Structure 1
Amino acid sequence: MARVNADPESLRALRDALRRGQEDISRAVEGMRGSFKSAQWNDDRRTQFERELEGFLSSVTAFSKEADELKEYLSRKADDLDRYLGR
């Protein structure tokens, strides 16, 4: 007989934690961009730094977008478990 090795509510809690993490990441990325734009800095190194910063922020944003797929998976898994458990 198959066993269920997951709790649907804990999967939903994990999904919600991912969502909150995405929101935190989004705020942090926007804050860094805003701080950079308002910085009193205008030399040759600024342009190179900006490219590097945007590359980093793009990577962070890509993770956040990947989290959407993870959240969808967790929601589906929790719903499937609820149906299996007769809830």
Structure 2
Amino acid sequence: AELVRLYVQPAFQRVKVGQRLLAAAEDVARSTGLPALWLTAWDGNQRARDFYAARGYADIGETVHVIEGRSYGNRVFRRAI
């Protein structure tokens, strides 16, 4: 399964809201019989990259999004669930 977006507003960061949302997404994927969850995080968002790595997500590669001619590198993370 792909987790398309997970954003937590600054006022709700560092109080485990992100962990709960990610756990809920994993539960939904698991309940439907999917073997893994994958997602991308922008290269420049070290906080997000650290967040996923700390929760067992492996950095498995890179993808690039081009928006209005500008390229944005993203890391691809995956975790078996």
TM-score norm. by structure 2 comes to 0.30
| Larger Rg over CA atoms | 1
Greater share of residues in helix: 1
Greater share of residues in strand: 2
Higher relative contact order (CA 8 A, sep 6+): 1
